[in-house]
Structure formats: structure tokens, C-alpha cells
Amino acid sequence: MSELIEPVPHYSFAAEHLRVGERRPGISAFMRIRNGAFSLEAAIRSHIGHFDEIVAVYNRCTDATPDILARLAAEFGGRLRVWHYLPEVHPPGSSGHRATPADHPQSLVNYYNFALSRTRFTHVTKLDDDHVAMAEATAKLVSDVRGGRAANREMACFSGLNLARDRQGQVGLLASEPFSGAGDIGIFPVLPGTHFGKDRRFEVLRFGLPRRFHSHVYWHLKYLKPDLGFGNYDLAQNPTSRYARRFAALAAGPHVAPLASLAELGPDWREHCVALGLPLPPRDRLLAARRAAARRGAAAFRPEAEPALAPFLNRDTGPATQP
């Protein structure tokens, strides 16, 4: 193991590990990675110039993830800090996740809280290994946070666009689910009570602040992976997982839509409620804002203008492989 990667043989989260009073002004991104080699380097390179640091924690990797992280940590120094979390973490949707207490070293919740606890700046955000930044949109988001115009006593939620390749090799939007991120990802201030809690399906961020949609800021490459991004869910051991059903629905070949189709999205029922001033639950109000923002910004979504995306747009991974 590289001397730039710190092993974590055991961990159990406690609130004081957040060191809220010691945090410096700035933005940390934290990654939780398992077999992310497909797009990990592009994710880090496209984001690291926007944040004050990236905390990368990996678990159960059998691909080139550790080598990629060691090489990039040597290149970027203290802006990329890497840990190898050794306890075998149960994936979301698994029977192991449901049965494991949230503070257990093998808990997905505890694993997320470990990554959160390693961050050092006042504001943080999750970053996945299959997110490639939209350069201008990410710069605008970060500028708004640093200027106090966003993520000020709230979460500045953002989303991405799901890219997929159909059976003819055409890359476009995943027609059945064009957006990634529904209020679960964004930049937020770390408070004394901030932590991840347990839902029977996955982890849930708990921090007691409102969530407001900001913008679409990344390209989501999950569905361009050979296994459509379902390889980390241990589906063979969890055949009734919600993720097994989602994989089965997509495995025959995702249907894609042109990015230009976003401009033609009509208002949905949520947007009509907002226009009429009718009350909506916070999550529905956020989803209405997400849809409206995609329609307004459709002309700016140009994957061919993002150099970091080029290798993935030109790489045909073939038919989906069983996770």
C-alpha cells in the first residue's frame, strides 16, 4: 500500500469526530469508492480545482482504484487525501445493510460518517467516482457558496444528467431517468448534529437544514459502465434488492433521448402547483425546480464541450454485463 494511503482497520463514528469548531472556511468533497477505476480519475481531475480538498475513502476494491488514488495523491498533495477503509462494508439495498447497526464498522452509514469526519472545511459535499463536473456550472455553484449566496444555513442541492448508451451505440440522456440527484446531494455547512443516519435501504443525511435546488452541475456516467453501475450492490447475494429490479429493467439496452429534448420538457404537476402557489412538500418543490432548471438550461448542456468526457463518449463498452 502507498504511504500516501492511510489504512483504517476499525472505526465507529461519534459526533465529536466532526471537529466543527476547528473547521476552516472552504469546501471539502468526500468520496466513498468501490471499484471506481472506470471514471475515478476523470471525476477527481474535473472537480479538484473547484474544492479546497477531496477526501477519498475506498473499500472492497479489486480494480485499479488504489493505484489511481496513490498516483493522484502524489500529484495533488494535500488537496487529495486518501484512506483505505478495511472493514467489509455492506452495500445499499442488501440484507447485510438492513441487519447491521449504524455504528458498526461494516455499516454503510458508519462508512459514510467516517468519510465525512475526515473533511476539514466548513462546507462539504458528496462526490461520486462517476461524476464528471460541468466546468462552468460547477464554478458558478462554488462561487455562490464562497460568496454566501448559497448553502448559507441550507443545503445547496444540485443534480446531474444521466448519460447512457443504447444498443446502437448512441449516447444520450437515459430516457427513463434523465436526472441524477433528488435532494440527496449538495453543498452544506457542517453543524454539530450533522451525520448520516440509517434507512433500511441506504444511508440518509441528517442535518436539520432546508434544502434548496441550485443547478445541474455534473455528468453522471453510471449508466455508461459495462455493468450499468450496478456491480457494487452484490446482486447475486441480494436478488430481491431494489437495485436488482432496476438492473433488470435496463439490461436489455437503455433507451436514450437527445439532450436537446430537455428544452421540450413541459411543466409537470409539481411545477403547476408551484405556479399556482399551492403548498407542496419540500422534496416535491425541489423536484419542480430541478425540472424547470433543466428546461431553461438545455442549450448549455454540451457534453462535446467537456474535454474530460471525451474518452467516455467515444468508448463503447458493449452490452451490459451481469454485476
- Domain ranges within the chain, ordered by starting residue: 5-313
CA 31 to chain centroid: 8
Q: For 28-63, how does the pLDDT look when each residue is reduced to its tens digit (9 = 90+)?
A: 999 999 999 999 999 999 999 999 999 999 999 999
Asked if pLDDT for residue 317 goes beyond 90, the answer is no
Lowest mean per-residue pLDDT among 6-10, 146-150, 312-316: 312-316
CA 208 to chain centroid: 20
Give the three cell numbers for residue 74.
502524489
Q: For 175-232, how does the pLDDT look when each residue is reduced to its tens digit (9 = 90+)?
A: 999 999 999 999 999 999 999 999 999 999 999 999 999 999 999 999 999 999 999 9
DSSP string, 85-130: E-S-PPPTTSHHHHHS-TTSTT-HHHHHHHHHHT--EEEEEE--TT
Q: Which residues contact 279 (CB under 8 A, 6 or more apart)?
A: 273
Pick one of 3.30.460, 1.10.8, 3.90.550, 3.30.70 as the CATH number of 5-313: 3.90.550
Q: For 254-301, how does the pLDDT look when each residue is reduced to its tens digit (9 = 90+)?
A: 899 999 999 999 999 999 999 999 999 999 999 999 999 999 999 999
